[in-house]
Structure 1
Amino acid sequence: MLTPEQAQDIATHLVELARAGGASAADAMLVADMSSSVTVRLGELEDVSRSEGQEVGLRVFAGQRSASVASSDFSPEALAGLVERAVAMANEAPEDPYAGLAAAELLLSGAAPDFDGFDPHEPEPAELRAMALRAEMAARGVAGVTNSNGASGSASRSTVALATSGGFAGCYRASGFSVSAGVIAGEGPTMQRDYDYHSARHFSDLDEAEAIGSRAAERAVARVGPVKPDPGRYPVLFDPRVSSSLLGHLSGAINGAAVARGTSFLLERLGERVFAPGITVRDEPHRPRGLRSRPFDGEGLP
């Protein structure tokens, strides 16, 4: 996988090529990643996979016109062709009065915040397999569990580099580790299934595999024999898994593109309360070891 220095050099060089090729402004984001996973079921190895990938995206502007292209080929010839196509596309694109790079005064300046999101530990397949086996064994040991959907252990790492013609250049690395398990409880038409998982930036922060397996089993067993409630008005409680999806709907609704196109359900509702008074939503992109933390966004803003 590319080193941070290599990734930054490619992104910066691509922006320089775009400017030399006729773009009035440009930015490039490169992402290189690697992942591995091991899956077991009923105590036997079921799947082992490993993947590596890299891609660079280039956005160019011709005045108020813009175009975006991407490539996984970083050869000099491919990058030159990428720039040529992007500039040609931008010249034919419709004008957008809001198109442009982020203002220079908004960009991250100085050293990037350290969110401690990279763990150099790279577990071997045998270690991932052992975690998956421990999770499944713990799940199958819970009374009421009758079958297994399998368990897995995985690890990933990525390098992200961004360069803009406005003078921004930044790069960071991130890692991720996870363990999951899924089981079936009950018999025949009463069977129920559920799962549990845990993900962390650092390997040492992962929950114990046995705890993850036990939680998966307990959730599956608890679903057996559901009772239909009497008609009435009841408070609605959202499981934490569901609450995260609610935030996803919110972030999608306040996305600039959705608002500009008039497709947001919150259109024309600026200043109105969306959630109950007791709920506060905070954006903390620099939270140490946060799964979604990063030092800057796709335009170089902190």
Structure 2
Amino acid sequence: MSETAAFSYAFATLQQLAEDVLKHASAKGATACEVDVSEGFGQSVSVRCDEVETIEFNRDKGIGITVYSGQRKGYASTSDFSAQALRETVEAALNIARFTAEDDCAGLADAALMAKDCPDLDLYHPWALSVEESIETARRCEQAAFDASPLVSNSEGASISTQQAHFVSANSLGFMGGYPTSRHYISCSVIAGEQDAMQRDDWYTTHRDATRLDDPQQVGRIAAERAVARLGGRKIKTGEYPVVFEAPLAGGLLGSLVHAASGGALYRKASFLLDHLGKKVMPDFVHIAERPHIPCGLGSAAFDSDGVATRDRDIVTGGILQGYFLSAYTARKLGMHTTANAGGSHNLIIQPGQYDLDGLLAQMGRGLLVTELLGHGINYVTGDYSRGAAGYWVENGKIVHPVEEITIAGNLKAMLAGIVAVGNDVQVRGTKQTGSILLDRMTVAGE
């Protein structure tokens, strides 16, 4: 791939392909149809111990077609954009629909809710980075990690990735929308220590606009500092302690809230937040907003996977759950209205407090700072939470030693209700934005 590489298909071609699918579905007797046409490409380069380890190029395309025959639904997809392949894929989807059970909640979203005008959300910033430049950038990133400390003894590598894509979504209600997007990242993972006393850690930066990525050397330095800081880790006594989730992990708590408040979990009655709309789930000071139209945002979108226009809304105000995350289908299952969240949440932001991480540790006084979580021990029906963890023990508001080989446990309902403070040390790495979060207590299993 050279700096002049571009999409293989013009945006207008994607629109025409979508139009052709809709026409053929209608001609074949589908009562409704929706189609997604996409193309993407990129390159990824990784360097380990100054040697080039991988150079990867990717170029993908696909069409996903959903048809409805009354209340019966069928889906098929293809990566072949030829006219014959499109016709065969439409017919395959219709054939599947004929053999599926009727579902009175199946169907497109309400036509009045479809996105009419798509705002330019500034989501496309191609990075004209040659392979040679990628290698040089990755080497600088990794070398900065080795230079940061003589205790950094090995590397798992530094990686540079640049990705571009564009897509068109359309349906038989007259909706058609789409736009190009980009996403780039720089990462570094290193090992500190010798023989048995070794620890690894990593750091990365990601953005739609490469000019807003963190400096590669800074990424390497932080990865090294984090790995070195973990040397000499030990267990702590089993007990109940206050816990701070470091910002990169705190987004996982927001993710758990989203999962439990999502239509799929709710209509299956597989959520600890069942029937909690309008009820207090967090302390008074917690405010969580969904902001889908942030320019250049990693979670920004003009419409959801159903074609429904997205809008700003508040999820939690004064600690009270104000909204679920619903698609057209899950909303019908619950007898509610879609919240334009088919496909997930968009830029979920918890209002930061006044303190940075050091301030939160000072507020906690004595307890555990968690910087790594292992395993997936979450039961969303009951809210029970148990995961392996590592981090640092804190006394008098200061880190005193690393901690490893422990398990933290609690219940998500109690954890959300037990938020003491939210930090202002926000790391924007995805669709959920939060600073570090201090919880009043969790059970820590150690010695």
- Secondary structure of 2:290's match? coil
Q: CA deviation at 1:2?
A: 2.1
For structure 1, which segment, 271-280 or 185-194, has the greater mean C-alpha deviation from structure 2 after superposition?
Answer: 271-280
Secondary structure at 1:8 match in 2? helix
Secondary structure of 1:123's counterpart equals: coil
Task: Map 1:88-99 onto structure 2 (within 5 A).
Answer: 88-99=95-106
SS in 1 for 2:289: coil
SS in 1 for 2:187: strand
Q: Could you tell me whether the CA contact under 8 Å between 1:176 and 1:201 is conserved in 2?
A: yes
Q: Does 1:54 align with 2:46?
A: no
Match of 2:304 in 1: 297
Indicate the residue corresponding to 2:277 in structure 1.
270
SS at match of 2:46: strand
Out of 234, 248, 257, the residue aligned to residue 250 of structure 1 is 257
Rounded to whole Å, the distance in 2 between the matches of 1:164 and 1:77 is 20
Query: Greater share of strand residues, 1 or 2?
Result: 2
Q: What does residue 118 of structure 1 align with?
A: 124
User: Following TM superposition, by how much is the alpha carbon of 1:119 offset from its aligned partner in structure 2, in angstroms?
Assistant: 1.0
User: 1:201 Cα deviation (Å)?
Assistant: 0.3
Query: 2:291 — aligned with what?
Result: 284
Distance 1:166 1:36, change over 3 A: same
Q: How far did residue 64 of structure 1 move?
A: 1.2
Greater relative CO (CA pairs within 8 A, separation 6+): 1
Decide whether the 8 Å contact of 2:18 with 2:36 is kept in 1.
yes
Unaligned runs of 5+ residues in structure 1 are: none
- Higher mean displacement: 236-245 or 256-265: 256-265
Q: Does residue 234 of structure 1 match 2:236?
A: no
Gaps of 5+ in 2: 1-7, 310-447
C-alpha distance in 2 between matches for 1:274 and 1:36: 43
TM-score, length of structure 2 as denominator length = 0.65
Q: Residues 2 and 275 of structure 1: is their aligned pair in 2 closer, same or farther, counting only changes over 3 Å? A: farther
| Among 15, 35, 39, the residue aligned to 2:22 | 15
- What percent identity do the matched residue pairs reach? 38
CA RMSD of aligned residues (A): 1.5
Please report how far the alpha carbon of residue 230 of structure 1 lies from its aligned counterpart in structure 2 after TM superposition.
4.0
Cα gap change, 1:12 to 1:277, in 2 (>3 Å): farther
Match status 1:190 vs 2:197: yes
1:244 Cα deviation from its structure 2 partner: 1.8
The letter of the residue matching 1:291 is L
In the alignment, residue 266 of structure 1 is paired with which amino acid?
L
- Which residue matches 2:184? 177
Does residue 1:136 correspond to 2:142, yes or no?
Answer: yes
Q: 1:68 to 1:276 in 2, by over 3 A?
A: farther
Q: Paired residues, what number? A: 301
Structure 1 CA distance for aligned equivalents of residues 167 and 161 of structure 2: 20
Does structure 2 conserve the Cα–Cα contact (< 8 Å) formed by 1:3 and 1:159? Answer: no
Which structure's residues are more often helix, by fraction? 1
List per-residue Cα deviations over 1:139-161 (Å, max 9, x = no partner): 11122211111101110001111
1:167 pairs, out of 158, 174, 184, with: 174
- In the TM superposition, what is the alpha-carbon distance from 1:17 to its structure 2 partner? 1.1
The amino acid of 2:308's aligned partner reads L
1:2·1:159 contact (CA, 8 Å) conserved in 2? no
